[in-house]
Each structure stands twice: as structure tokens, then as C-alpha cells.
Structure 1
């Protein structure tokens, strides 16, 4: 089944590029081809990417009976304009997914007790945020003020310089404090993190408090989100996480559907993903 494209309007948040207007998100919906109410998997793309980057995951999940949906995160997608806010204000991504879930509840016959989420890179963090992972306000604030180095972002060089040219220190402090609040969405029951990012920017205790099953996968040859600062942290701190390297020669971008995958990483991960979500979302919860 092919995906449908819809536009979602978030009336609670302004557009970064046009503050007088509401935040608009483009979503891709793969309607279920199985029984309803349908189990759901929502997907979050990597920084600077788009929903279609994860079609290689969406299609096998959809074939297995899941309704699958993704959004292009505004200001952080090649289907949109690149904006410094989209690359800096990480917490807004979880709110995008919650808006997507609101839409699915209203417009599709879904089982709200059987919802999972998967994300790549920045999207891996997004899934962790939906499950309760929180930004460390002191670290984020220091990074915004240029006191500690920020992770390199190939898609947006000089990110912090651009941010500081647009916002005052007082504004950035306030934004960091706002972003440090919980962005969790209890409708999401399980999660998959693929080469997850910004692990060092999160409160360790917030990851320790995540109580649901989480699958973490990465490649050891990942220089964009080095596993020791990212995937390993998520694996070690989340109590019910299962983490595994996909190989010493596997890099970051193998998780993008248009990249070379000589060793078959994506089919392997897709099969694991279907099995994981089918296992954990196969029956309705009663709690």
C-alpha cells in the first residue's frame, strides 16, 4: 500500500519562519491493510531528513498490518527550509509526533493501546523523549551560550553561531528551560532507537525512569553519533533496553533508504523491527 500525504496544523505553536502563522507539518500515512482498530508505529527521521528516508521500515511494517505514519519535522527537513530552530530545539520534535498521534486518533480507526515509535539519529532521541527522556537544562543552556562544544551537524555548519546571532542569552536560557520539561506521550508503549543522537545532552535519571521495552541498534563505524556517547548510553541507562551493534564496518547513513547497503543492514533491521513491534503490540493492554 502506498502512503497518503496530509498537512497537519498545530494551533498551539507558531511557525518559526512566519510567526503570525501556525506550525504546519507534512505527514505520511500508510493506512493499515489488516484488521482494525489497527496497531500503529510512528516514525521520526534524522536531522535534515524527511519521512520518506524511513520508507524501508514503513513498508514491511505496513505489510505486517500496522498503520505507519511519519512527519517531516519543520525546519529540520529537506522537504522544508532549514532553520536554526529546527536543528537546535530538539524537544519540539516529540511534540510533532504527539500532534501526529492526535490526528490518527481523530481520523483513523487505531488501537490507542498498541502504539510504538521508531526513529533514526535525531529521530532516535525523539523516540526517547516520547518515552520520558528529558533534556539536561544545564548542559543545553551551556551549549546554547557557547560555553561547551555542540555536536557537529554536517547539515547546518556553525549552528550555535547562527543561533546566538538570532537569540539573546536570556532568550536561550528560557528556551532551554522550556525544552527541559517532559515531552513524554504515554500513548507510546515501546520504542526503537537507530543510531540515536544527543545522548550526552539528556538527564541520565530520565532515561533510567523509562519503563517500557526499547530496542537500540547502531553501527560501530559511526562518526556522526559516536556509539560511546549515544547508543551505548541509551542501552545502558534505559532499564529494559536491548542494544546491539550491527557491525564494526557499519556507519551512520546506512539507515537512510537511498544509501548503499552492501551488507544488508536495512533488511535485517526491518525484520527485527517487525518482530519487535509485533511481539510487544500484539495484544491490547488493560492498564
Structure 2
């Protein structure tokens, strides 16, 4: 039987988006009934505006296979606590949440090899932990509003929301943050599901990734179209295992609550188990 726990952490090096105080990092742990030897861990990142519970389909499958699956509700970018413009725009904060998590796990007991997985911008998050970086100029153009930005369904007018909520002094530092290296040497492999923000990445950073990566996507994804997202990751990351999982598969088929995607999610979760079994055990 899987044992689910929730732990509240914080990161005093960063401030929260909705008031004073340290950035909250709420951690969800799916502990396996029969852990694999050497306690391997898989970090699981949800999509834009989602929450850890939407990744239950992947986390529970990994846990049943013996991995400790660990997710977070990314602050300002999850529906449990509410949306903040900074939580949507400052995508580099997401991998930093998992660095906090890994530090916590190391303090609480032995930790085996670690992998990262994620859906949509969570796919970027997993890729960032193995070396993907943003492009400062592309991000600055997006933030300026001079080039139309495809609307984010959960926060349609992101640029206007950022202008209204985030002080200019903070925004001025963001292009430098966007191109920063958020990789963590403790993460040995990454599994990306319909990964997002391909147009905002530095392509060279993908070509420099030297850890195993797998990419899965749907052929009918009109939220993060594969040509500029999943296929970009799959084609540029050396040795990446990339595969479309169905011409009819849409972006939101990878949410735990969507009945239409159950079979595809099961297939992709099985792929993730096989991938992490190869690279973490």
C-alpha cells in the first residue's frame, strides 16, 4: 500500500509572491510499500496552474514500482493556493523548489539516485534540473509585450498581470534569472511529458545536456505544440528518447482527472518506470 504524506517546507532565500515571508514549498511524498534497493527518488513537477495531485497518475505508478515519488505545489502557479503573475512568469523558480526538496530529503535519511519528471512546464522543470536554460533576450521580448504571447489558459493576460503585480525593480532582474543555470548534479535523468516553453529556451543549453532524457507528447497538443516544444527537446538533447504517443492525444490528456486520457497516461507512466529503472537502479 502506498503511504502518502504532505510536508510544508519553505525557502528563506526567496520571498513569496502574495506577501512578506519565505517562499513556501509544500511537498507531497508517495512512499512505496516495497521500496527498491538504495532508495531511488523521482521528483515530479505539475503543469502551469496545476497542482501535485494532478500528477497522481505518474507518482502512484512510480511508487508502486518501488520509487519514492515526490512532488510540490509550485508557489503562485498552483490552483490550491491561488495564482500570482510572478509564479507564472518566473519559471526558473520551479527547479529551485526541488533543490529545496532534495536538501530536505538528504537531511531526513539515506537517499538513492534521483530522477526528475514533469508535465508541460513541469517538463521544462525536469529538463532544467539536468541543464536546460532560458534565453534572456527571448524572455525579455516576451515580457515587454512587443511580441504577442500565446495566452496561458489559466492566466490569459500574463504580461498585463505581471506589470500590475510585480515591481519593475524585480522584473528588471528577470532576464538574467531566466538564463541562469538551475541544474542540480544530484539529478541523474529526466522524463518530460508534453514539455513547454521551448520558444523561451537557449537551444545550446539543450545540446549540452549530458544525462539521459526521455520525451513523450501527443500529436493533437494545441497548448504546447510539439514542433516548437517536445520535438525541440527531443531533437536537440543528445541521445534523447522521444516519442509521440498518439495522433489524437491532446495536452490535457495528461491530467489525472481527465477520463479520456487514462490509457495513454498508463502507457506513459509505464514508460517512465522503465526509463527510471534503467537509469536510477
Check whether the contact 2:254–2:261 (CA below 8 A) recurs between aligned residues.
no
Check whether the contact 1:42–1:68 (CA below 8 A) recurs between aligned residues.
yes
Q: What's the offset of the Cα at 1:150?
A: 2.1
Alignment of 1:120-135 (within 5 A): 120-135=119-134
Instruction: Give secondary structure in 2 for the equivalent of 1:86.
Output: helix
Q: Using the alignment, how far apart are the partners of 2:3 and 2:256 within structure 1? A: 16
Q: In the alignment, what sits opposite 1:200?
A: 199
Q: In the alignment, what sits opposite 2:23?
A: 23
Check whether the contact 2:86–2:166 (CA below 8 A) recurs between aligned residues.
no
Alignment of 1:159-238 (within 5 A): 159-167=158-166, 171-238=170-237
Q: Using the alignment, how far apart are the partners of 1:30 and 1:125 within structure 2? A: 22
Q: In the alignment, what sits opposite 1:269?
A: 268
Unaligned runs of 5+ in 1: 283-287
Alignment of 1:46-61 (within 5 A): 46-61=47-62
Q: What's the RMSD between the two structures over aligned residues?
A: 1.4
Q: Which is further off, 36-45 or 222-231?
A: 36-45
Q: In the alignment, what sits opposite 2:107?
A: 106
Q: In the alignment, what sits opposite 1:285?
A: none
Q: What's the offset of the Cα at 1:262?
A: 5.6
Give a deviation string over 1:175-202, Cα, whole Å, max 9, x none: 2212311011111100011000000100
Q: Using the alignment, how far apart are the partners of 1:196 and 1:18 within structure 2? A: 30
1:150 aligns with 2:174: no
Check whether the contact 2:198–2:233 (CA below 8 A) recurs between aligned residues.
yes
Q: What's the offset of the Cα at 1:263?
A: 6.8
Q: Using the alignment, how far apart are the partners of 1:202 and 1:92 within structure 2? A: 15
Instruction: Give secondary structure in 1 for the equivalent of 2:117.
Output: strand
Q: Using the alignment, how far apart are the partners of 1:68 and 1:167 within structure 2? A: 33
1:76 aligns with 2:77: yes
Instruction: Specify whether residues 262 and 69 from structure 1 end up closer, same or farther in structure 2 by C-alpha distance, changes over 3 A only.
Output: closer
Q: Using the alignment, how far apart are the partners of 2:261 and 2:166 within structure 1? A: 44
Unaligned runs of 5+ in 2: none
Count residues with an aligned counterpart: 279
Q: Using the alignment, how far apart are the partners of 1:22 and 1:168 within structure 2? A: 18
